[in-house]
Structure 1
């Protein structure tokens, strides 16, 4: 499915979702078909979310590209992902930060955690964790970048605490299940944050102590 992957990347470049060579190379390298359920394999390179089980989805490729661009990831960075899902987004980030980087990714649903851990086993810079992602991962903090792949009612305080000064946090926030705002939060000092609204998105709810409680 290499040709389909190349066409998807070319389309994302043409639509200006992919702006940098590092994001382009990462998305060219990661086989999205390996991360979706077998029954959706033939749809892997359509630019749309796909179900991955447990009521969860894999984000559309354009959203993965956009989030990677906005985060301005660099080689060697230490990154926290909240919401591993199938592991595709983590794989793209791992390609960008390189083997000298480190990605901690948290998944609360055990079946998805186990599946993602297997899918990501060849990425030595990735640690997959089964826990409540709304609490972050204190033991490896602070992080250069934090991003969340599910929508929260507010920005979880533990994530703001665990972000380095000068770091960036990207998270969908909103009270409607089907429409939220994608917020980019920059930490200017320990107690001072700058927030930019990047527009409307639609993500599954972020469940946990500092998220939604269903």
Structure 2
């Protein structure tokens, strides 16, 4: 039995299983990586698409989509389009007009746009800071996040519909957990499902140490100003 068959057998959501059969991962990978799309030696490993962006390992990505419990006509918000493969799978289940996908990286945004939109023209693919979510289309039935958040992403949680589900990695660079969060008023149901390692979330509610050099310089300037102000206040 092939690695692809093994993953297919593990998928509980029948609609997601049908999408997995229909959508070819090879179509979304760069030329040099296509041959590894369903290679049993690589289904548990992420691929670097650019120096700054990886695509989630196939086995883990399918597990995350499965526990998201996708259904027809649900509105889904995706944080981190990546190469667009998982975006396409969700579009097959819920309809491409119900998928809003946010990507912060310029290069990978263009990559995904060129692959996704010819096949799924009604997907809303937006280049923006995904840590802020997308209020214009809220509320969402489902939210999935492909980067580790430093804590429960409250801004995104606010954009969930009541009883909606979010799947998100949370933690530091060295220790992260995968969580399924169900919105039940202001007391969410939080389930920890296992240990994972993801690249850290960028953006306003992400990890500041991952921001670009200009932002780091601004932060250092702010720290110097604050130290000077503290010194001035202590002398006054």
Residue aligned with 1:182, SS: strand
What is the CA-CA distance between 1:85 and the residue it aligns to?
A: 0.8
Deviations 1:128-168 (A, max 9, x none): 11000000001000000001001011122210110001100
Q: Does residue 23 of structure 2 align to residue 30 of structure 1?
A: yes
In structure 2, what is the equivalent of residue 3 of structure 1? none
State the superposition RMSD in angstroms: 1.5
Structure 1 residues 125 and 75, CA, compared in 2 at 3 Å: closer, same or farther? Answer: farther
Q: Does residue 190 of structure 2 align to residue 195 of structure 1?
A: yes
Contact 1:146–1:169 (CA under 8 A) maintained in structure 2: yes
**Pairs within 5 Å for 1:52-201:** 52-99=49-96, 102-121=98-117, 122-175=119-172, 177-189=173-185, 191-201=186-196
Match of 1:209 among 201, 204, 220: 204
Aligned residues: 204
Query: TM-score with structure 1 length normalisation?
Result: 0.90
Structure 1 residue runs without a partner (length 5+): 1-5
What is the CA-CA distance between 1:21 and the residue it aligns to?
A: 1.9
Deviations 1:171-205 (A, max 9, x none): 00011x2541001111112x221100001011111
- Name the stretch that deviates more: 57-66 or 142-151: 57-66
Match of 1:12 among 7, 14, 33: 7
Question: Matched residues in 1 for 2:177 and 2:122: separation?
Answer: 30
Contact 2:53–2:108 (CA under 8 A) maintained in structure 1: no
Question: Matched residues in 1 for 2:175 and 2:116: separation?
Answer: 30
Contact 1:174–1:180 (CA under 8 A) maintained in structure 2: yes
Query: TM-score with structure 2 length normalisation?
Result: 0.82
Which runs of structure 1 show a deviation greater than 6 angstroms over 4 or more consecutive aligned residues? none
Structure 2 residue runs without a partner (length 5+): 211-236
Residue aligned with 1:171, SS: strand
Question: Matched residues in 2 for 1:87 and 1:143: separation?
Answer: 19
The structure with more radius of gyration: 2
Contact 1:178–1:203 (CA under 8 A) maintained in structure 2: no
Question: Matched residues in 1 for 2:182 and 2:24: separation?
Answer: 31
Question: Matched residues in 2 for 1:193 and 1:172: separation?
Answer: 16
